[in-house]
Amino acid sequence: MLVDYHTHTNLCKHADGVAEDYVRKALELGFDEVGCSDHSPLPNGFDPEHRMTLDEFAQFYRPMVDDVQKKFDKKIKVRFGIEADYLPGAEKYMKKFLEENDFDFVIGSVHFLGDWGFDNFKNVSRYEEKDVYEVYVEYFTTLRDAAASGMFDVVGHLDVVKVFGYRPNRDYDGVLREAMKAIKEHDLVVEINTAGLRKPIGEIYPSVKILEIIKEMKIPLTLGSDSHTPGDVGRDFDLAVELVRKYGDGRITVFDKRQRKEVSI
């Protein structure tokens, strides 16, 4: 069984193609399921250049996923998901948004530290002004809070803070462990996300070091390409599958209306 549970659409304004293009690619690859998980709207027009609005969500995203679900019924399972931002201070907004919609699964991702969209290449210069160790501490502390918020099913690109290759010169195992403990305690699934291989860091999310902790803690896994263009659906999944075998006992988690099920790949 193969799935890709992390795909975007042009509604987020920084990806190409519509849901159908991503689904067709997954079908072509012989996948059993594909999850649509475009970026969630954010409160008060926060980062409107990279997000759809609530209106666009209701008017375009929901119906678009609905249509492909119907159109591809019996050919491939299309899951209705979202990649929701964890923004401290906006928990209420996000909680309400997630509760109001009948998602199959919700990916929770940390893309902002304060007002700094740290994984956006336009903002990369800010790393030079900071102590990279402090950035990692803030990132993994925020990720711990995201896991503890209880709002999400899947942890998105767990160690995305490494995206541009900045590495701290001090050991950050303590905060990393705290985050992993929260992920385990709150029963989240971690995605093996192949997008890091296409970024300056050139490494899968999460790193092998973190996958060792995942194995030790028996945290369940799922698979995502984080594709922002249809051609990237399922990209580098040969490696991802190998990692699932090694660190997840060959099992992945799939979702239906936020109910999970473990299956063998």
Smallest distance, Fe ion to C-beta of residue 109, A: 4
CA 149 distance to own-chain centroid: 16
Among 9, 109, 142, 222, binds Fe ion (CB under 5 A): 109
Q: Per CB under 5 A, which of residues 216..235 are in contact with Fe ion? A: 226
Q: Closest CB to Fe ion among 109 and 253?
A: 109
Beta-carbon neighbour count of residue 265 at 10 Å? 17
Smallest distance, Fe ion to C-beta of residue 231, A: 16
Q: Closest CB to Fe ion among 48 and 250?
A: 48
Q: Closest CB to Fe ion among 126 and 215?
A: 126
Q: Per CB under 5 A, which of residues 12..71 are in contact with Fe ion? A: none
Q: Closest CB to Fe ion among 174 and 200?
A: 200
Closest-CA residue to 155 (of 143, 165, 145, 164): 143
Smallest distance, Fe ion to C-beta of residue 170, A: 26
Residue 104 lies near Fe ion (rule: CB under 5 A): no
Helices 173-185 and 208-217: crossing angle, nearest 10°? 40
Q: Per CB under 5 A, which of residues 125..164 are in contact with Fe ion? A: none
Smallest distance, Fe ion to C-beta of residue 205, A: 10
Site string for Fe ion, 177-216 (x = CB under 5 A): ----------------------------------------
The upper half-sphere exposure of residue 248, i.e. CA atoms within 13 Å in the direction of its Cβ, equals 26
**Number of residues counted as binding Fe ion (CB under 5 A):** 3
Among 83, 138, 153, 191, binds Fe ion (CB under 5 A): 83
> Is residue 260 packed enough to be buried (19+ CB in 10 Å), middle (13-18) or exposed (0-12)?
middle
* Sites of contact with Fe ion (CB under 5 A): 83, 109, 226
